[in-house]
Chains A and B, each alone.
Chain A
Amino acid sequence: MIIYGVALLSVCLLTGMLIGEGLGVLLNVDANVGGVGIAMLLLVLASNSDKFKSLTEGASGVGIKFWSAMYIPIVVAMAAKQNVAGATEGGLLALAAGVIAVAVSFALVPLISRLGNPEQEGD
């Protein structure tokens, strides 16, 4: 049943969000700490485990794959609701801070990826 997969996905997201909010409270932070990431880990665990086979295979899996495939359309809608006008109103300071932060972060991607490389070659 398609709904079984969708329900599993929902339970993963809700559980992850609850843990994320809980972490926020524990750390005294006004934000959800990694809720979505934890939810993803839960789904990875479930989809790699035999116990959850009936919820992730066949028609149930289709229910999860549908939402996975809807990801790009949802991201396009998300782009269309961004406050782009607001970003341009911040003037030069906001522009400079944003642009330089992104440029430096991009430059760090190959450097930090390389930190993980020795492990990779060892495999």
Chain B
Amino acid sequence: MDIIESVFVRNNLVMAFALIGATIWVSYFLADRLTGGRIHGSAIAISLGLIAAYWGGVTSGGNQGLADVALLGGIGVMGGGMMRDFAIVATAFGVHMHELKKAGLVGVISIFTGVIVSFMVGAAVAMLFGYSDPAAITTIGAGAVTYIVGPVTGEAIGASDTVITLSVAAGLVKSILVMVVTPLVAGFIGLNNPQSAMVFGGLMGTTSGVAAGLAATDPKLVPYGAMTATFYTGVGCLLGPSILFFIVSGLF
């Protein structure tokens, strides 16, 4: 047993490649046989990943999903920010400049609309649940922007730890929901061309959610959505602790 464990732990990234490869094989097989190709194989693979992450989080008590399980640390390296960003940038290879220019202005509009609308929703929900302190309302609103904007805003304006944790949870719900729901609603919202993908990325803004949601919808759209989404968190961190907090403070 010791030999097996030391081989797998020492080679944890390689182990992750094998495990993810097997997961994707199973997912594409299921997509093909059970749904006749109606559900994209990668949508099933991402869902399996999320289920595994839930299991990993519950059994290990950590906050890194499956990556906190002893033998599966490599999943954390493979699915970490560095690899994710490297692969996202690579998807831009072959993208045409004119597609980007066409949606440039609409893309910018979508980023600001997305941040402000999500913030308003989060803030309204916080008020419905009885919060009346401007710092708490702002932080939960910022959490509905993304799970990074929530804590950045909360720490800047001095919200309590409980509220910051809630804001992270709201952002996580958003990110996971975007991953799962995007392929299901893509047809209804016209998400089938580079321009609408850029608008989608700007409105949703959660890089992980957009990255996975578009991958499961149509991999060709990934670079367009990811491009606008990566500006969203920055804009959120810019507006959250400043203008949005001032507005909320002024109202209460």
- The answer on A and B forming one complex is yes
Interface, chain A (partner B; CB < 8 A)? 9-10, 12-13, 16-17, 20, 23-24, 27, 29-37, 39-41, 43-45, 47-48, 56, 61, 64-68, 70-102, 104-110, 112-113, 115-116, 119-120, 123
Q: A34: shortest Cβ distance to chain B, in Å?
A: 4
Partner of B90, one of A68, A78, A108, A120: A68
Contacts of A30 in B (CB 8 A): 152, 156, 237
Contacts of A84 in B (CB 8 A): 50-51, 53-54, 57, 65, 172, 176
Partner of B121, one of A41, A61, A72, A101: A101
- Which residue of chain B is the closest to A46 with respect to CB atoms? B93
Contacts of B89 in A (CB 8 A): 9, 12-13, 16, 36, 39-40, 43
Interface, chain B (partner A; CB < 8 A)? 16-17, 20-21, 23-24, 42, 45-54, 56-58, 63-67, 75-76, 78-80, 83-97, 100, 102-103, 105-106, 109-110, 113-114, 117-118, 121-122, 125-126, 128-129, 140, 143-145, 148-149, 152, 156, 165-166, 168-179, 181, 185, 189-191, 195-196, 199-200, 202-204, 207-208, 211-212, 215, 219, 222-223, 226-231, 233-235, 237-238
Contacts of A47 in B (CB 8 A): 92-95
B interface secondary structure, majority: helix
Given contacts A77-B20, A84-B54, A100-B121, contact A90 B238 (CB under 8 A): no
A77 to B237, CA, bound (A): 26
Contacts of B103 in A (CB 8 A): 116
Contacts of B171 in A (CB 8 A): 98
Structural contact, B90 and A64, CB atoms closer than 8 A: yes
Given contacts A82-B65, A100-B125, A110-B189, contact A29 B57 (CB under 8 A): no
Structural contact, B23 and A44, CB atoms closer than 8 A: no
Q: B171: shortest Cβ distance to chain A, in Å?
A: 7
Structural contact, B234 and A31, CB atoms closer than 8 A: yes
- Which residue of chain A is the closest to B78 with respect to CB atoms? A77
Other A-B contacts than A24-B237, A102-B204, 13 sampled, CB-CB below 8 A, are: A9-B86, A31-B148, A37-B228, A39-B89, A47-B92, A70-B87, A71-B222, A78-B79, A80-B56, A82-B53, A91-B166, A102-B181, A113-B195
